[in-house]
A and B are shown apart, each in its own frame.
Chain A
């Protein structure tokens, strides 16, 4: 028999064997080891499944075995509340500090187990859809209508009533962010409002009064021209105001012209006369009418030299842009990245309508990070205890102070404003209480609408389309989308969320 035939025969014999025979008994040990490992994992998962933590008096978590062996009574059994939050850096440290304080002081035997994660919306959505969400979810305010429309959060109304928490607890502009279809789905944590920030040193250099910000859009343009510098070769070296810096919230300009994005009932108002006027104002910059001879190409090329927002290359911090519309967080970033001699002021961003430059009547947008309980959370009652803690000045101020932001609560502790790290915190707080503090529309299609606005703004800015044409197209597209969504909701017996925009 040749070697080839022998090999063929042995291969044939091998193929005729069952898989078990082929593997041989030599695999018994590895299989047994795998069984032990699986058993070990199951035991530990089982322990986790009890949703309890064993904490020492120094608030360190220990194993169940350590708890059972403990005869000193210093280890106690606590209900574990899983909390996913999005912040990193100094903002992350602030929530860690807040959670640690709660864990230390609560008498409900609750242990909040916080995990800070990126792309939090996607992860919470996936976990909720998969039936295994955290007990507490730190969401963006723009997620709330979308999550609420899908019943992906638990309404908090009943628990709030029991705890005595209500609209009276929060500043209205922030409280409304969590309301959808007349129910409260989430409550605010760290809020913000937007205002004009100006560089006082550049104002002085330009011969302007550094304590006197522009009070109207005409003044803003005038100041901006005075603050703009071009070198001998015609290159921009400093600009007074740039509508595309930082380039966020492109949908929002209409609010400063009296416009709205939605009528509150089912009609998109993208092409309203006020929004059109706002986009025409933006177009004046792009056309080179504000800075003579410097249109969007020159301004874009200049903007192309700016560094990232959270860096010393930020054009506002390094003195290349004199005025920006920014939020309450800016002071913290100035402290971190701007030169030591950087002096800045904060005031309401001027509106088209004269006289709206006082904090009580100025236009601003109120936003907030929110906290809610996902549908399917295993310990909603215990989770709400932490939300309740955040509804007190004691809890909220640890968090908001760490973020250098204002508090969303009506009640604040003594010295909150005076000792706050942001020297202009009073401006932001008062702006939140302004009669013209608006919020983005609580629409399930808001993310799409927002993205469509950004594209429309770019079409107008790059002179690809006239403002009228661009807004008409946006109006038609988004109205069609909203009509479809409303039709679906009606078919499911749901009503559109009540509220204004």
Chain B
């Protein structure tokens, strides 16, 4: 290594140091520590005791944990495609050059700026028995629904998730605006109608963006925490405690309430592995269907 390379290396490391320190302290170390603690009995108040695979065995034979896993995956498999399709449809509508489109874009993006805690508080308020939604339904002569009951709480959370899908929409919009106009024109000359142009031009052209939203969506939906936690923490719908229990809320409950940091770490490790595996599968499958411009 020449002197110049050494100096460059030193300077490079110096400039990258804040990130390296932050990453090591706040991301790498917690992940490594969580994996280690997942093999221990650890309650924070006393030193960890090595128990081998006990926490993992306990996790897979505990019915409530399996229910939380099943509920989270069910939620993700339904809510994620719905939110991807919904936000794409909205992006397609907002991409059209109509009067006041800027206002529409702002209005549809605004819910994404609302903090999740506020979204959860809103959910409890607007979907309450005498809340805005039921009042509106009654006003137009439709039957009211028990939105916050055990049987409907997942659907209600999905609706709130879709309502806040503005981030996905804005990314789609950016992708759509990047599609060369001549492709649409040539498709139009070939006699393609609007839906055919969307299906055969827009969607393939923004497939990398769809992939990005899908991967981010998997990570977010499997780690769904704030809204279910807020529902569990609110004292009114007590019976929803289990109905709204997801992997992340179960991890929090075991770690904070039951002081089972080791078990919670095992749960977190399983979630991490599941997210990595699913993302890897999606990326592998996407190689066949995602089109990158220029090959």
A binding-site residues for B, Cβ under 8 Å: 15-16, 19, 122, 125-126, 128-129, 146-147, 150-152, 244, 246-248, 300-301, 303-309, 445, 447-448, 451-452, 454-455, 458, 461-462, 473, 477, 481, 484, 488
Which residues of B lie under 8 Å from residue A147 when comparing CB positions? 45
Q: List chain A residues, Cβ under 8 A from B7.
A: 15-16
CB<8 Å pairs between A and B, sample of 28: A15-B11, A19-B14, A128-B45, A129-B45, A146-B259, A147-B45, A150-B43, A150-B259, A152-B45, A244-B238, A247-B239, A301-B146, A304-B146, A305-B130, A306-B129, A306-B236, A308-B236, A447-B258, A447-B259, A448-B258, A448-B260, A451-B241, A451-B253, A452-B64, A454-B242, A461-B239, A462-B150, A484-B54
Q: Roughly how many angstroms separate A223 CA and B283 CA in the complex, as a whole number?
A: 64
Give complex CA distance A303, B237 in Å: 9
Write the chain A residue with the least CB distance to B11: A15
Q: Is the interface of A mostly helix, strand, loop or mixed?
A: helix
Q: Which residues of A contact B136 (CB under 8 A)?
A: none
Q: Which residues of B contact A447 (CB under 8 A)?
A: 257-259
Q: How far is the CB of A411 from chain B (nearest CB, A)?
A: 35
**Cα distance, A454 to B253, chains bound together (Å):** 14
Whether A150 contacts B46 by the Cβ 8 Å rule is yes
CB nearest to B259 among chain A residues: A146
**Which B residues lie within 8 Å of A16 (CB)?**
7
Contact partner, A309, options B62, B235, B239, Cβ 8 Å: B235
Nearest to B14 among chain A residues (CB) is A19
For B137-165 the 0/1 string (1 means CB < 8 A from A) is 00000000010111000000000000000
Asked if B242 and A458 make an inter-chain contact with CB atoms under 8 angstroms apart, the answer reads yes
Give chain A residues whose Cβ lies under 8 Å from the Cβ of B46.
Answer: 150-151
What residues of A have a CB within 8 angstroms of the CB of B49 in the complex? 488
Give CA–CA (A128, B259) in the complex, Å. Answer: 14
Excluding A300-B150, A484-B58, 11 further A-B contacts by CB distance (< 8 Å) are A15-B7, A126-B44, A150-B45, A246-B238, A300-B239, A304-B148, A304-B149, A306-B236, A477-B62, A481-B58, A484-B54
Residues of B within 8 A of A452 (CB): 64
Residues in A whose Cβ lies below 8 Å from that of B44: 125-126, 129
Contacts of B38 in A (CB 8 A): none
Cβ contacts B59-73/A at 8 Å (1 or 0 each):
000111000000000
Cβ of A15: which chain B residues have Cβ within 8 Å of it? 7-8, 11
Determine the distance from Cα of A239 to Cα of B279 in the docked complex, in whole angstroms.
51
Does B256 sit within 8 A of A, measured CB to CB?
Answer: yes
Interface centre among B14, B43, B259 (most CB of A within 10 A): B259
CA distance A371 to B121 in the complex (A): 33
Question: Is B41's CB within 8 Å of the partner chain A?
Answer: yes
Chain B residues with Cβ below 8 Å from A458 are 150, 239, 241-242
Q: How far apart sit A471 and B125, CA to CA, in the bound complex (Å)?
A: 35
* List of A residues within 8 angstroms of B150 by Cβ: 300, 458, 462
Interface string of B20-46 (1 = CB under 8 A from A): 000000000000000000000101111
With A300-B149, A304-B146, A304-B149 already in contact, the answer to whether A125 and B259 are too (CB < 8 A) is: yes
Contacts of A451 in B (CB 8 A): 64, 241, 253, 257-258
Docked complex Cα distance between A151 and B58 (Å): 25
Q: State the Cβ distance, A308 to closest chain B Cβ, in Å.
A: 5
A246: which B residues are within 8 A, CB to CB? 238
Binary interface encoding of chain B residues 255-295 relative to chain A, with 1 for a CB under 8 A from any of its CBs, else 0? 01111100000000000000000000000000000000000
CB-CB nearest in chain A for B150: A462
The answer to whether B259 and A473 touch across the interface, beta carbons within 8 angstroms, is: no
Structural contact, B129 and A304, CB atoms closer than 8 A: yes
Contacts of B260 in A (CB 8 A): 448
The complex places the Cα of A30 from the Cα of B14 at a distance, in Å, of: 22
User: In the complex, which residues of chain A have a beta carbon less than 8 angstroms from the beta carbon of B64?
Assistant: 451-452, 455
Residue of A308, A448, A488 most packed against chain B (CB within 10 A)? A448
